[in-house]
Chain A
Amino acid sequence: MRPLRFISIIFFITVISITYVWQQVKIFEAAYVQERTLKKYYDILDENKNLRYNQARIESLTLIGDKIAKDNFEIPSDVRIVAVNLKPHQ
């Protein structure tokens, strides 16, 4: 075998191997980026779920109802006049 051909084959194999490894490295790099993005996404999603839960909890009748029950609040009947203090729009 001629030395030049031998070196060419070795070079060719090396280039293919490096391309393959480079491609794998890029896949892993992309995976790391995706992992970070996904983490942010899930953190925001979790935060959103927590906020929705807190909203539902704050709006809960068990919370509001128990507080207004102390003032003997009732749903007004047809014959009852309810005065509402409206503040001017600021």
Chain B
Amino acid sequence: MYLRKTTLRFKRVFIFFLALFILEGIYLFFIQAFRSNFLSNLARKQQNYYIEISPLRGTIFDINLRPQAINLPCDSLYANPRQLKDPKQTARLLNPILKIDEKNLEEKLRRKKGFVWLKRKISFDESVAIKDLNIQALGLVKESKRSYPNTYLMSHVLGFAGLDNQGLEGTELFYNQYLKGESGWAIILRDARQKQLPIYKRLEEAKDGLSLVLNLDEVIQYIAERELDKAYKRYHAKAASIIVMDPYTGRILALANRPTYDLNKSSGTISAMKKDYAVSSLFEPGSVFKIITASAALEEKVFSEKDRIFCENGNYKVGNHILHDVHPYGWLNFRDVIAKSSNIGVTKIAQKLGPQIIYKYAQAFGFGKPTGIDLPGEISGMLIPVSRWSKTSIGAIPIGHEVGVTVVQLASAISVIANGGFLVRPYIVSQIQDKEGKVLKKFEPICIRQVISQDTSKRMRDILSSVVEDGTAQLAKSKEAKLAGKTGTAQKTINGKYSHSNFFATFAGFAPFDNPKISIVVIVDDPHPEYYGGVVCAPVFKNVALDTLRYLKTQEVK
């Protein structure tokens, strides 16, 4: 009886558990058959998290591999307004740290969203202060910020990158495709508290950007900027530019403009300061352009250095316009016409050559077309075709009026004289490297054409040295090295008329004159009270040339 009862009870318990087991089985089957997609998606959403991996932007180095633009880690501040209890108080606390308008902050903090950027790429001090506030609804995300250790040096060449590491100006823009790299992505796991863990379910790594090695040399750049800055401030100029170039290869060793700006504070800078005058601004070169007329005359064998030209004692009628010289001259030989920069003498040379020859040589020297420099925004300049010349053009274009050039065009043109007669393409970037320093692409010098013969170039070098020795550029004379070049002073056009009080002062030259290592162009826009190229720009040229030659000598020793 007892045994039978026990067996019965055991059977009941067994049946109960069996029924439970069957029910569970049915429920599991139901889940598997009807709810599996929904639940697995839910689990995937909770556990897996898709993240985009940003690439690091490539570094920009100078020719000696000194970093000019690098990436620094930084924090970006966001808020979760849904978690925030007192937006007004939070805005009040954040205002002195972030220096953002309190109302603007409050408006962002009141948005009905789970994520709002408050300020991207904040400074280290700002980040520390935010952490000290210890507000739960605020968070920091690690990002990288483009930083420039030399602040304003090479600002117009380097340009800058925006908040999303997109190149916006200069080489940062021109070579953005190489610098930016490629984003990667990953699916990582999160724990129950939604904390991201470094467990990758799938990973596609980001490809960091490539690095650029510039032709520019930090030291030469500094020398050029220092001297340009002195002239810019001393003569209260509107703008100024300088280019130092290797005349044989076209490598740009230095390029600077004034006004300039601190690359680390580019967002608050007005656009006029960011403008690269050297490649995107047009100006009348004035007497510097006489180099082209003189070269044409020698190359075409129409004149030689000793040929005498009557300079009409300072007044000469061309069309219905009377041409003047700064100092009246009578008879001058060809060399002195250039050395003393006689407008009348050069006009008479041009009249004998004819407009077609002048135009042909101006084109051959690279005017009227972009040089092809690897910087954004280069303009072509202005060279009027002979068919559109007026009666007075023959007295204007050969002396550098009615023609618009850029500083970089002028640097290429003076290099033709310095290097034996070849027009070379100026270029900024020397090579592209990967992170390990392996060279992936090397930019070689490009010779566009031979403009004048070796002989003409040598004769022109001699003539241009006499401009410095006993001509209009005597302020560039030095005992240390023999320099050569040509001064220019051009009236500016104000409201369609030539101004008598606003000028462009210019100097284009090279050093040393017999074996040129560098060619330099200096232009100062609207200098006061002095305005002659020989007074304003020649000393800049001299100081830059001498310091650069000394520096290059030390590099040769190394």
Contact = CB atoms under 8 A, between A and B. Distances in A.
Interface of A: 3, 27-28, 31-32, 34-35, 38, 42, 45-46, 49-50, 52-53, 56-57, 60-62, 65, 69, 74-77
Nearest to A32: B197
A5 to B, nearest CB: 13
B149 A56 contact: yes
B501 to A, nearest CB: 32
Nearest to B199: A31
25 contacts: A27-B199, A28-B191, A31-B197, A31-B198, A31-B199, A35-B198, A42-B73, A46-B73, A50-B73, A50-B124, A53-B70, A53-B149, A56-B67, A60-B151, A61-B153, A61-B218, A62-B151, A62-B152, A62-B153, A65-B222, A65-B226, A75-B547, A77-B480, A77-B546, A77-B550
Given A42-B73, A62-B151, A74-B547, 4 more contacts: A49-B71, A50-B72, A53-B70, A77-B550
B150 interface: yes
Nearest to B10: A3
Contacts of A52: 70
User: What does DSSP make chain A's interface, helix, strand, loop or mixed?
Assistant: helix
B contacts with A: majority SS = mixed
Contacts of B73: 42, 45-46, 49-50
A49 B72 contact: yes
Interface string B202-239: 00000000000000001100100010000000000000
B147 interface: yes
Given A50-B72, A65-B222, A74-B547, A31 B66 contact: no
A79 to B, nearest CB: 8
A31 B200 CA distance: 10
Which 8 A-B residue pairs are closest in the complex by CB-CB distance? A56-B149, A61-B222, A46-B73, A31-B197, A57-B149, A75-B550, A60-B150, A31-B199
B30 interface: no
A23 B546 CA distance: 73
B197 A35 contact: yes
Nearest to A60: B150
Given A56-B70, A61-B218, A74-B547, A69 B149 contact: no
Contacts of B551: 75
B189 interface: yes
Nearest to A56: B149
Interface string B131-165: 00000000000100001011111000000000000
Contacts of B191: 28
Given A27-B199, A35-B197, A56 B66 contact: yes
Nearest to A28: B191
Contacts of B546: 77
A34 B195 CA distance: 13
Contacts of B222: 61-62, 65
B189 A31 contact: yes
B75 to A, nearest CB: 10
Nearest to B543: A74
A50 B144 CA distance: 11
Contacts of A32: 197
A69 B197 contact: no
Contacts of B218: 61
Which of B73, B151, B191, B547 has the largest number of chain A CB atoms within 10 A? B73
Contacts of A42: 73, 142
Nearest to B18: A1
Contacts of A76: 550
A45 to B, nearest CB: 8
Given A53-B70, A56-B67, A75-B550, A38 B198 contact: yes
Contacts of B66: 56
Interface string B538-555: 000000001100110010
A60 B117 CA distance: 34
A30 B62 CA distance: 44
A32 B199 CA distance: 10
B147 A53 contact: yes
A42 B198 CA distance: 13
Contacts of B124: 50
A1 to B, nearest CB: 9
Given A35-B197, A50-B73, A62 B150 contact: yes
A56 B73 CA distance: 16
A69 B189 contact: no
Contacts of B547: 74-75
Interface string B56-96: 00000000001100111100000000000000000000000
B228 to A, nearest CB: 13
Contacts of B72: 49-50, 53
Contacts of A46: 73
Nearest to A30: B199
A31 B191 CA distance: 10
Contacts of B550: 75-77
A24 B177 CA distance: 43
